[in-house]
Amino acid sequence: MSETNSVEQMIAVMSRHGWRITDQRRLLAEIFAKTEGYLSPKFVYDQMAVHYPSVSFDTVYRNLRLLSEMGALEQFYFMEGGLKFRMSCVDHHHHHLICMNCEKTLTFEYCPMDHALQLPGNFKIVNHRFEVYGVCDECQETAAANS
């Protein structure tokens, strides 16, 4: 997906949820569209502050959380790096393998929800995420070379 399409996709989500599309929100979408990896709230704040010095960290963080709730961003908690965000993958349903060292993310098509689940009561699943944390090939090779 092109950077322009990604920006427009995030802006469309904002509009559907009644947000006014400001220059600051457009910049927020552009920051995520330019990056494939995960961004910390601090990184996003630093990028926003270059163009909007009066923007507060709390405002940026609140927008990130709301965009995550809307489905425009995915959020992950890294053991070492804390909470980070990235643009949601909306092309098709898939899940992620996440390297705990370099934070590289690989997609894979397996979905545990495709298998019969014995859920208690009449529990209705509305959404789900499945993330597998480990160490990617490159980080394993680097570790082996340094041993």
pTM of the predicted model over 0.85: no
For residue 111, the enclosing domain spans 95-145
38 plus 76 within the same structural domain: yes
Q: Number of folded domains in the chain? A: 2
Query: Which is it for strands 105-108 and 82-87: parallel, antiparallel or unpaired?
Result: unpaired
Residues 132 and 107 in one domain: yes
Task: Check if the beta carbon of residue 127 is closer than 8 Å to that of residue 113.
Answer: no
Same-domain status, 21 and 67? yes
pLDDT tens for residues 12-68? Answer: 999 999 999 999 999 999 999 988 778 999 999 999 999 999 999 999 999 999 999
Distance from C-alpha of 52 to C-alpha of 44, rounded to nearest angstrom:
12
Contacts (Cβ under 8 Å, ≥6 apart) of 104: 37, 98, 136, 138
* Residues 67 and 105 occupy one common structural domain: no
Neighbours of 95 (CB within 10 A): 18
